[in-house]
């Protein structure tokens, strides 16, 4: 940079002005979001405690009586409910994304980033990456609790990876959905309350009880909503069985949600400039 003013600032060698690339942005913001996650002791505690509690409640309290209706016992229900608990916990974990995105959008932070020479949208990618890390950690906790409670499986590495991969994909789906909610909501409080509905989605699926045991009018929704094939496929894989069509249907749902959410984010992000 050359300048006519003979100042100290100008004489120092400098490489400023080009700005960071998308990769540096992504790295910087992922690190930032992870720091947020791990410094917020209460949220972190919730992220670990919630899956443990859900697992214990469903297996130890409801497990025996739900399983009895299906001619099984508590350990059968443990294997049955495992993917649903993992996804429910991930839903709560991902809802944090709406709050942090909304915070960034409604304070001066995003405005400054938008006047800097690098792609500001990497902030959202950083929040998404951190949410994946947080929620996969929670999934790990769910699996650990399941094994501690006596879950045993014949699933090989491939099946296990398939199940965890599908769960991870759904975590990505709800994270980007919550990120878009956080972007459109006027405040962090509004963002988290919009997301409330999403958190009940797993209960109206094949996750906690068989769809056939629900009232007829509910079966249509429960049987065809996106979480049902994802849960069915994950459950089959975790038990070492073949997931069948549920695998493809689940993948298609995830791909569709991500495509729509990314498109919405691309349209909305440049317009949502705080005045």
Partner 1 sequence: MAYTDSPLLALDGLSKSYGRQRVLTDLNLTLPPGIHALLGPNGAGKTTLVNVLSTLVPYDAGRVRVLGLDPRRERKRLQGLVSLTGQYAAVDDKLSGAENMLMMGRLFGLSRRDAQRRADDLLERFALTAAAGKRVATYSGGMRRKLDIAAGLIGRPRLIFLDEPTTGLDTRSRQALWDEIRTLADSGASVFLTTQYLEEADALADRIVVLHGGRIAADGTAAQLKSRVGGSTIQLHDDAGHILEEIPTRGSALDVARHLDAVAAARPDVDVTVRRPTLDEVFLELTGRQARERTQEEVPA
Looking at 35, 152, 224, 272, which residue binds partner 1 (CB under 8 A)? 35
CB of 267 to partner 1, least distance (A): 16
Decide if 67 contacts 74 (C-beta within 8 A).
Answer: yes
> d(Cα 167, Cα 132) in Å, to the nearest integer?
11
Asked if 71 is part of the footprint of partner 1 (rule: CB under 8 A), the reply reads no
Site string for partner 1, 112-141 (x = CB under 8 A): xxxxxxx-----------------------
Asked if 14 is part of the footprint of partner 1 (rule: CB under 8 A), the reply reads yes
Looking at 18, 41, 42, 154, which residue binds partner 1 (CB under 8 A)? 18
> Which CB, 49 or 273, lies closer to partner 1?
273
The CB density around residue 127, as the number of other CB atoms within 10 Å, is: 29
| Helix/strand/coil (H/E/C) assignment for every residue in 79-131 | HHHHHHHHHHHHHHHHHHHHHHHHHHHHCHHHHHHHCCCCCCCHHHHHHHHHH
Asked if 42 is part of the footprint of partner 1 (rule: CB under 8 A), the reply reads no
Asked if 41 is part of the footprint of partner 1 (rule: CB under 8 A), the reply reads no
Part in contact with partner 1 (CB under 8 A); list of ranges 22-30, 49-57, 228-236, 242-250 = 22-30
Decide if 208 contacts 58 (C-beta within 8 A).
Answer: yes
Looking at 4, 23, 42, 216, which residue binds partner 1 (CB under 8 A)? 4
Decide if 175 contacts 125 (C-beta within 8 A).
Answer: no
Asked if 74 is part of the footprint of partner 1 (rule: CB under 8 A), the reply reads no
Asked if 16 is part of the footprint of partner 1 (rule: CB under 8 A), the reply reads yes
> d(Cα 156, Cα 81) in Å, to the nearest integer?
20
Radius of gyration of the chain (CA): 22
Phi, psi of 2 (to 5 degrees): -105, 145
The CB density around residue 151, as the number of other CB atoms within 10 Å, is: 18
> Which CB, 107 or 242, lies closer to partner 1?
107
CB of 221 to partner 1, least distance (A): 39
> Which CB, 15 or 71, lies closer to partner 1?
15
> Which CB, 115 or 216, lies closer to partner 1?
115
Part in contact with partner 1 (CB under 8 A); list of ranges 14-22, 144-152, 210-218, 253-261 = 14-22
Site string for partner 1, 80-119 (x = CB under 8 A): ---------------------------xxx-xxxxxxxx-
Q: How does DSSP classify residue 16?
A: T
CB of 9 to partner 1, least distance (A): 5
Looking at 10, 61, 259, 260, which residue binds partner 1 (CB under 8 A)? 10
**Measured on CA atoms in the order 198, 184, 128, 157, is the torsion positive or negative?**
positive
Helices (H), ranges, the chain: 8-11, 22-39, 41-56, 63-69, 74-106, 108-114, 122-148, 157-184, 188-194, 196-200, 216-224, 227-238, 245-271
Point out which residues bind partner 1 (CB under 8 A).
Answer: 1-10, 14-21, 24-25, 28, 32, 35-36, 39-40, 107-109, 111-118, 273-275
């Amino acid at each position: 940079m050359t300048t006519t003013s003979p100042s100290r600032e100008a004489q120092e060698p400098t490489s400023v002005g080009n700005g960071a690339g998308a990769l540096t942005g992504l790295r910087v913001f992922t690190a930032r979001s992870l720091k947020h996650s791990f410094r917020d002791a209460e949220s972190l505690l919730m992220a670990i405690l919630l899956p443990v509690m859900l697992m214990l409640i469903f297996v130890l309290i409801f497990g025996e009586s739900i399983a009895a209706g299906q001619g099984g016992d508590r350990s059968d229900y443990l294997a049955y409910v495992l993917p649903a608990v993992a996804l429910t916990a991930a839903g709560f974990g991902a809802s944090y994304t709406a709050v942090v995105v909304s915070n960034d959008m409604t304070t001066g932070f995003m405005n400054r980033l938008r006047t800097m020479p690098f792609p500001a949208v990497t902030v959202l990618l950083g929040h998404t990456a951190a949410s994946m890390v947080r929620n996969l950690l929670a999934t790990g906790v769910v699996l650990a609790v399941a094994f501690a409670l006596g879950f045993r499986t014949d699933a090989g590495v491939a099946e296990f990876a398939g199940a965890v991969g599908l769960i991870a994909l759904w975590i990505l789906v709800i994270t980007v959905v919550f990120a878009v909610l956080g972007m459109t909501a006027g405040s962090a409080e509004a963002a988290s309350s919009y997301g409330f509905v999403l958190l009940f989605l797993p209960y109206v699926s094949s996750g906690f009880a068989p769809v056939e045991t629900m009232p007829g009018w509910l079966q249509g929704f429960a049987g065809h909503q996106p979480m049902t094939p994802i849960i069915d496929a994950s459950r089959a894989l975790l038990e070492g069985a073949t997931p069948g069509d549920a695998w493809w249907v689940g993948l298609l749902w995830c791909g569709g949600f991500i495509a729509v959410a990314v498109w919405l984010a691309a349209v909305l992000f440049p317009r949502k400039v705080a005045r």
